[in-house]
Chains A and B, each alone.
Chain A
């Protein structure tokens, strides 16, 4: 480290630290930060794994120089590049949590490296983790870009470089290198130039009583000029984007207040260490006790903060979406959230049932609330991306290719950095419709990614080759399901669209199951009866699925012979008799039938038909 030539490092009243204090603030701190890293890593992996996976789905990062340079065009672009580069590996086990914990702890270590130069007080060491923990708490909101963490770590690192390497130099050098670091921080970390680096340099010089320290106000002026120039050049939108953490938040939404706590805490941390410098000497034992207390307190507050910030229902949808993208159908059905009464989740659960081939057996084993449980919306004016990215997959699953493509495209372009699953969807839907030029464009893009390159390359065999598409089990089946007669989507309702798909491709069991499931959820007994009457015994409906048998009885209770003739088994008829008897008992005993019958008949169509009320 550079020697101070003219200015004492600390007030003369403050005695030099003893050997134990030196040992503690060096090796002791190292041990603390390693332990903090391991603890944070484990905690994040256990509590936020699917947030990391979800983040991976919020971008399509290209391993391409031009793409990287494009990201760097705006202030703070380097941190955006770094964060996007790292996020592409977030589906790899342990990587998301490690890559989040590491900068979190590193920024704490850098801050400690700065603060100990103001006052070497190991008792306040855990305080240096506070800013990054606040930021990590804010990062549970996926609308906050991960870039914030990379930028913050870089900003504190730059400030540490100043404190460790430059601060003891003469004022001219300090001003010059401080200015260089301030401007560099504009490129590397964007708004943290104004909130961490520039004020940090000024405060550090003031708090360490450097020669002509107030002159470092020039760094703030420089930061203001750089930010203003960025606005005037069109690189930045406005002052909040230039100077505050709002820059890292989804621009179309209002940023929550807590975003800026990280830099406020950083400056507060410097101030606390400065105030402590007025205390002549702190006993080692007291310091250790304070450190222990602060560690426990920080960990508790962080955990509580995350608990409050991370809505379990939102996290569940993110987890289920991850399972959906990965095709983990069993995990979806086993997950406790599968029983949440939430349209987005029921859409995923029902799709998993369909994938497992048990949609018309187990539909009512999970909460259902009318037709929206199968398909959360069929209107194009949907604007919510988390919902769109699920229902586009559902549409694709039952063969509504045009709708899947439209919604998938909306998600892909609605997110600033894209969505890889939606891009895959666009590849497939364009191959199905024979739009090979567009499919090739998207394939080329995915080929530049780390995770999807092989998949994309494999799709090249379908380009300009109709026979290959026709022969593929997935693409060929969807192509055969394209409606024979064109119509506008959403005009005649989703049931008609399902009907058109099934008419075009009668062997498509998925389309058939979805059509019947929709009728069940709509409680449309007459339509179910007509459907079976028209198709029973044909390749479309060689056998009647269990829940449809139940619906047939409900539709034709007075004509059980008709039911038997149309595929209703004796076992189902016997069960219906029991259901009726139990219902009659409940009425006689003035018991609430909905409660009394739930255990035995809660997963039947009859129970849903009688007791479930829903909004259409």
Chain B
């Protein structure tokens, strides 16, 4: 790939001439762009990375591919709108290589080129869609919210479900098994409450509170092979800080982990996951389905007074899907001690890496500015900070692509409150690349105007096609199926 770089100056000159911006000088100076796409790694099937330059003036951009082909783009009010067809073509030709982007500025009638920057093009494609919830970043009142999906190969966002259909209730916690858009579960709270299970044409409303469990089902994670979904059940509260760097604290007074069997409509668990002396939450099955990861902390009483003393460890317990039983002992992968806490364990589909969110205490990391992503190498158990992706502000929820090479995560690094999505490439050794912000047509304006946070980003391999009006009608009119609790085998 390096050998091809000699072609670039010639191509760049040709394109610059074609776009009537013949640079007469070259500067070492750099200019800030938004989003910061400099030196990021992108998949070969991503939508054009439009961006804006932060300084005023007349600007042009020369995009050169690894094969020497190039094209020019003229900025309009500082915004570069990269033509989709040319972008796709140049990305395709640059798989495994890099794009070289050179900004040119006109001053006093003379064009000058700035120091170029690279965008690395991975040969690994990313899943075609991300599903997420858009919600105002507060937890008192809300108006419109919904679960949406974004086609990563274009800018198209379409609704999966919007709360307008069911009296503006709360919709949350969408989840898919192994990035499969054909099966989904999510909850509705307040009006028309219940859990929605969608499998192909089959829709089902579930009433998930049982007398034996603490609450209705909360945080889901599908079993990779069987018709099972692990959930936490939580007694959750939220409080508002009078004067703290963090605005809100969301905490559990009690929590357990259970598994829902889709076919028998029964919930089951294990004493090790339902201990009255511990808070267990955030379950996640291993890709082979033979282990369940979860977070657990010694129960603190009283809450919320002791909220800063709650530190969740990251643990694993064996699971036999055939007998639907758990097998001890419980292994601790990350011991939080008294200084940190783990949440949202997510295992790469190839089973090699586990990424979790680490923060000082508690479990609701999105409201903790110190929250960062950490990786566990599952081959040797080493835990390391993902410094390439972390920022000074919150990094929280994350999910893996189907091929284990991409991870999407939420971050509040732009303004400290509104959560945005970033995508990073993870190589086989678990090294993360510099992440890039979810592309938009005019990202500077789009993200400045957007008053919603992205919540629970999940990669999916295609578009979700469930009929949301059928879902709404079902939730409004059907009584739903009551779940039962199946006690664990005492043996």
Which A residues are closer than 8 A to B by beta carbons? 66-67, 231-232, 234, 237-238, 251-252, 380, 383, 385, 388, 400, 402-403, 405-407, 409-411, 413-416, 433, 435, 437-438, 440-441, 444-445, 482-491, 497, 500
Residue from the list B140, B416, B445, B451 in contact with A410, Cβ < 8 A: B140
Residues of the A chain whose Cβ atoms lie less than 8 Å from the Cβ of B418? 438, 441
Q: Which 9 A-B pairs have the closest CB atoms?
A: A437-B415, A414-B141, A488-B239, A413-B136, A410-B141, A410-B140, A489-B240, A486-B244, A482-B243
Residue from the list B138, B159, B242, B243 in contact with A234, Cβ < 8 A: B159
Question: At the interface, yes or no: B469 with Cβ under 8 Å from chain A?
Answer: yes
Residues of the B chain whose Cβ atoms lie less than 8 Å from the Cβ of A238? 165
Question: At the interface, yes or no: B162 with Cβ under 8 Å from chain A?
Answer: yes
Instruction: Say yes or no: B241 contacts A402, CB within 8 Å.
Output: yes
Residue from the list B243, B414, B417 in contact with A486, Cβ < 8 A: B243
Residue from the list A251, A252, A489 in contact with B242, Cβ < 8 A: A489
CA distance A500 to B110 in the complex (A): 61
Question: At the interface, yes or no: B449 with Cβ under 8 Å from chain A?
Answer: yes
Query: In the complex, how many angstroms separate the beta carbon of B146 from the nearest chain A beta carbon?
Result: 9
* Contact mask for chain B residues 74-110; partner A; CB cutoff 8 A; 1 contact, 0 none: 0000000000000000000000000000000000000
Give me 26 A-to-B residue pairs in the complex whose CB atoms sit less than 8 angstroms apart, sorted by A's number: A66-B449, A234-B158, A237-B164, A237-B165, A252-B143, A380-B140, A383-B141, A388-B141, A402-B243, A403-B240, A406-B240, A406-B247, A410-B138, A411-B141, A414-B141, A414-B142, A416-B144, A438-B415, A438-B418, A441-B448, A444-B448, A482-B242, A486-B242, A488-B239, A488-B242, A489-B239
CA distance A486 to B159 in the complex (A): 40
CA distance A215 to B324 in the complex (A): 65
A380, closest chain B residue (CB): B140
* Contact mask for chain B residues 2-25; partner A; CB cutoff 8 A; 1 contact, 0 none: 000000000000000000000000
Residues of the A chain whose Cβ atoms lie less than 8 Å from the Cβ of B142? 413-414
- 11 more CB-based (< 8 A) A-B contacts, given A437-B414, A437-B415, A491-B304: A385-B141, A405-B247, A406-B140, A409-B136, A411-B141, A438-B416, A440-B415, A441-B448, A486-B241, A488-B249, A488-B304
Instruction: Say yes or no: A252 contacts B415, CB within 8 Å.
Output: no
CA distance A440 to B417 in the complex (A): 12
Known A66-B445, A435-B416, A483-B243; judge A231-B469 contact (CB<8 A). yes
Query: In the complex, how many angstroms separate the beta carbon of A81 from the nearest chain B beta carbon?
Result: 16
Inter-chain contact count A-B, CB under 8 Å?
103
Question: At the interface, yes or no: B486 with Cβ under 8 Å from chain A?
Answer: no
Residues of the A chain whose Cβ atoms lie less than 8 Å from the Cβ of B247? 402, 405-406
Residue from the list B141, B165, B240, B417 in contact with A488, Cβ < 8 A: B240
The prevalent SS among residues of B at the interface is loop
Question: At the interface, yes or no: B235 with Cβ under 8 Å from chain A?
Answer: no
Question: At the interface, yes or no: B167 with Cβ under 8 Å from chain A?
Answer: yes
- Residue of B168, B240, B243, B247 with highest tally of chain A CB at under 10 A: B243
Question: At the interface, yes or no: B156 with Cβ under 8 Å from chain A?
Answer: no
Known A437-B414, A488-B242; judge A234-B448 contact (CB<8 A). no
Known A234-B159, A413-B136; judge A402-B240 contact (CB<8 A). yes
Residue from the list A67, A406, A433, A486 in contact with B138, Cβ < 8 A: A406
CA distance A609 to B414 in the complex (A): 54
- Residue of A416, A441, A486, A489 with highest tally of chain B CB at under 10 A: A441
- Residue of B158, B241, B414, B469 with highest tally of chain A CB at under 10 A: B241
